[in-house]
A and B are shown apart, each in its own frame.
Chain A
Amino acid sequence: MSSIELRQVSRWYGNVVAVNDVTMTIGPGVTGLLGPNGAGKSTIVHMIAGMLEPSRGELTVAGEPSWHNTPLLSKIGLVLDKDTVYTFLSGTDFVTAIAKLHKLPVPAAAARRAIAIVEMAEFANRRIGTYSKGMVQRIKVAAALVHDPEIIVLDEPFNGMDPRQRLQMMELLNRMGAEGRVILFSSHILEEVERLSGTIQVIVGGRLAASGDFRAIRRLMTSRPHVFVVRSSDDRVLAKALIARQAVTGVDVTPRGLQVRAADYGTFTRELAGVSRDEGVRLRELLPADESLESVFSYLVAP
């Protein structure tokens, strides 16, 4: 049975509770573990990886507890945020070494296969020290895949990637999820995961705050009220036009530009360009004013 189960899992450090009474089941397909920094995502990932002991509760991976269970690691592929890779090795050497540590019968072939999955064959003979962050991340995914695990856990796999690399990584995760593997990844940026399909678990302040499928959460995200600062060639003309729109609930004229309260993030951002063009106003700047992650997450948690 491939799944990750957490039943009333808590973890604390001294008096500080990092993870508080979390219960969730992560089955086949892609699951995102989302939440602001310090919410407890990494703590959960580390416990699943068997590299941190839960203070309380029951945590099983493929039916077995992961703490003090190194043999279980033959069923799990881990891509941890913090781990660095020997930079003196080539991609092929590194993945082959990991294949040998897994005691695979034909390590070189397994390594080639895993490197092909992450589309790194072209660069596999270069030293890892010469790789970009996105390439290092992909070679780490190849190492995590080399033993063909049913369960793959990735901590912040999108960190430090540019948009193109992020897209490639999302496609890769989707593909692996579609193969029926259990894919769990963590991320602190909601917008990062727009192209992923599957379910998400939102962690805020160590607690499971929301869970559901990506599309529902994404809809909540894009229809949330939002404040933007807009600077243009004629703020007052633009203000008049904007206040007439359904998506806008208020406009303040300030010395730094217009402060626009949008009822609906998605609609407003789609309409703004058209409105200003119709009015003959030139847009100079558009800034989300309350884009702090906490505000996004607390909005998601509030309803």
Chain B
Amino acid sequence: MSEVINPVVLRLTIRATMGRKRALIFAIAPVIMIGVSALLKLAAKSPVWPPEFLGVFGFTVVVPLTALIIGTSVLGAEIDDSSAISLLATPIRRSTVVLTKFVAATIITVIFAAVGEFLAGAIATGPGSKLAIGLLAGAVAASVVYNALFVMLSVITSRAIAIGLLYLLVWEGLLGSLVGGVRLLSVDQYALGIANSVAHESQLKAHLTLGTAIGMGVVVTCLALVFAAVRLRSFSLKGDAV
């Protein structure tokens, strides 16, 4: 019973998540991003739009929102609609459940958002360009960290989407641009730091070095997953309505 990822749970989760109507929503933001990139490629005069658009719009809107919808859906939505209970009624370890759900969410997010970033980057500056590869690396990293956070949120609260949105808008969006220290605890900054280490592009407006970005990303991911597993261990059903 020392398995970390359970293949049965992984397969079922990916199937259930892609089968929900939300799967269409996952695709919307990346499709818009790719479409706009294609238009800008044809029409834009300014040479700096690729890092500005794909960095700012991509890393503060497309990747986090996609991860938010998917990360809160793999476990949270199943707890809400009770389909997680048949899984929790088996002797499978709760930490395995959390890790497997996290891996499933990350895989789906990478497919939609990170591959979307890469395609948009490839349209903008070519598939072999440093920018496209940097965007892919940053977006993959962001998919990992965001999903750990959002899976944790969905174990703690049934309002995970609202709280996740608040974090993205207020913490990363507002405070992140005003207060320097906030950036150390902002996932989009980890992603930009990693993207920039490959792309070397000042317009990405990365503030963290590669070492800091990776280090903080790993710490946040691990803490979030451990906390989620601890909370799921004490998963409680509501008894009679009182």
The chain A residues found within 8 Å of chain B, CB to CB, are 11, 13, 16, 18-19, 37-44, 46, 49, 51-53, 68, 70-74, 78, 80, 82-86, 88-89, 94, 97-98, 100-103, 140, 143-144
Asked whether, in the complex, the Cβ of B236 is within 8 Å of the Cβ of A98, the reply is no
Asked whether, in the complex, the Cβ of A42 is within 8 Å of the Cβ of B239, the reply is yes
Task: Return B22 CB to nearest CB of chain A, in Å.
Answer: 14
Asked whether, in the complex, the Cβ of B89 is within 8 Å of the Cβ of A80, the reply is yes
List chain A residues, Cβ under 8 A from B93.
70
Asked whether, in the complex, the Cβ of A88 is within 8 Å of the Cβ of B83, the reply is no
List chain B residues, Cβ under 8 A from A19.
239
Asked whether, in the complex, the Cβ of A73 is within 8 Å of the Cβ of B89, the reply is yes
Question: B234 near A: Cβ within 8 Å?
Answer: yes
- In B26-76, the 8 Å CB interface with A consists of none
Asked whether, in the complex, the Cβ of A13 is within 8 Å of the Cβ of B242, the reply is yes
Using C-beta atoms within 8 Å of the partner chain, give the interface range for chain B: 20 to 34
**Chain B 214-242 interface mask (CB, 8 Å, partner A; 1/0):** 00000000000000000001111101111
List chain A residues, Cβ under 8 A from B233.
68, 70
Asked whether, in the complex, the Cβ of A51 is within 8 Å of the Cβ of B237, the reply is yes
Task: Return B198 CB to nearest CB of chain A, in Å.
Answer: 39
| CB-nearest residue of chain B to A79 | B89
CA distance A36 to B240 in the complex (A): 11
Asked whether, in the complex, the Cβ of A38 is within 8 Å of the Cβ of B242, the reply is yes
Task: Return B117 CB to nearest CB of chain A, in Å.
Answer: 30
With A13-B242, A70-B233, A73-B90 given, can you name 16 additional A-B contacts, CB distance below 8 Å? A18-B240, A18-B242, A40-B240, A42-B240, A43-B240, A49-B89, A49-B237, A70-B93, A80-B89, A83-B85, A83-B86, A84-B82, A84-B83, A88-B19, A100-B8, A101-B87
Task: Return A175 CB to nearest CB of chain B, in Å.
Answer: 22
Asked whether, in the complex, the Cβ of B239 is within 8 Å of the Cβ of A102, the reply is no
Asked whether, in the complex, the Cβ of B92 is within 8 Å of the Cβ of A70, the reply is yes
Asked whether, in the complex, the Cβ of A11 is within 8 Å of the Cβ of B239, the reply is yes
Contact residue among B90, B94, B241 (Cβ-Cβ distance under 8 Å from A98): B90
A38-B241, A43-B240, A97-B8 as given contacts; A82 in contact with B86, CB under 8 Å: no
Tell me what chain A mostly uses at the interface: helix, strand, loop, or mixed. mixed
Asked whether, in the complex, the Cβ of B242 is within 8 Å of the Cβ of A80, the reply is no
List chain A residues, Cβ under 8 A from B81.
84
Question: B5 near A: Cβ within 8 Å?
Answer: no
CA distance A82 to B85 in the complex (A): 8
Question: B15 near A: Cβ within 8 Å?
Answer: yes
A53-B234, A70-B92, A88-B15 as given contacts; A98 in contact with B86, CB under 8 Å: yes
Asked whether, in the complex, the Cβ of B12 is within 8 Å of the Cβ of A51, the reply is no
CA distance A84 to B82 in the complex (A): 5
Task: Return A89 CB to nearest CB of chain B, in Å.
Answer: 8
Question: B88 near A: Cβ within 8 Å?
Answer: yes
CA distance A40 to B81 in the complex (A): 22
Closest 8 CB pairs of A and B: A43-B239, A83-B85, A101-B90, A73-B91, A78-B89, A74-B91, A51-B237, A46-B237
CA distance A254 to B240 in the complex (A): 39
Task: Return B87 CB to nearest CB of chain A, in Å.
Answer: 7
Question: B16 near A: Cβ within 8 Å?
Answer: yes
| CB-nearest residue of chain B to A72 | B91
CA distance A197 to B120 in the complex (A): 68
Question: B9 near A: Cβ within 8 Å?
Answer: yes
Task: Return B241 CB to nearest CB of chain A, in Å.
Answer: 6
Asked whether, in the complex, the Cβ of B235 is within 8 Å of the Cβ of A101, the reply is no
List chain B residues, Cβ under 8 A from A84.
81-83, 85
List chain A residues, Cβ under 8 A from B16.
86, 88
Task: Return A130 CB to nearest CB of chain B, in Å.
Answer: 15
List chain A residues, Cβ under 8 A from B88.
51
Q: List 24 A-B contacts (CB under 8 A).
A: A18-B242, A37-B240, A37-B241, A38-B240, A42-B237, A42-B239, A43-B239, A43-B240, A46-B239, A51-B88, A53-B234, A53-B236, A68-B234, A70-B91, A71-B91, A73-B90, A82-B85, A83-B82, A85-B83, A86-B83, A89-B12, A101-B6, A101-B9, A101-B87
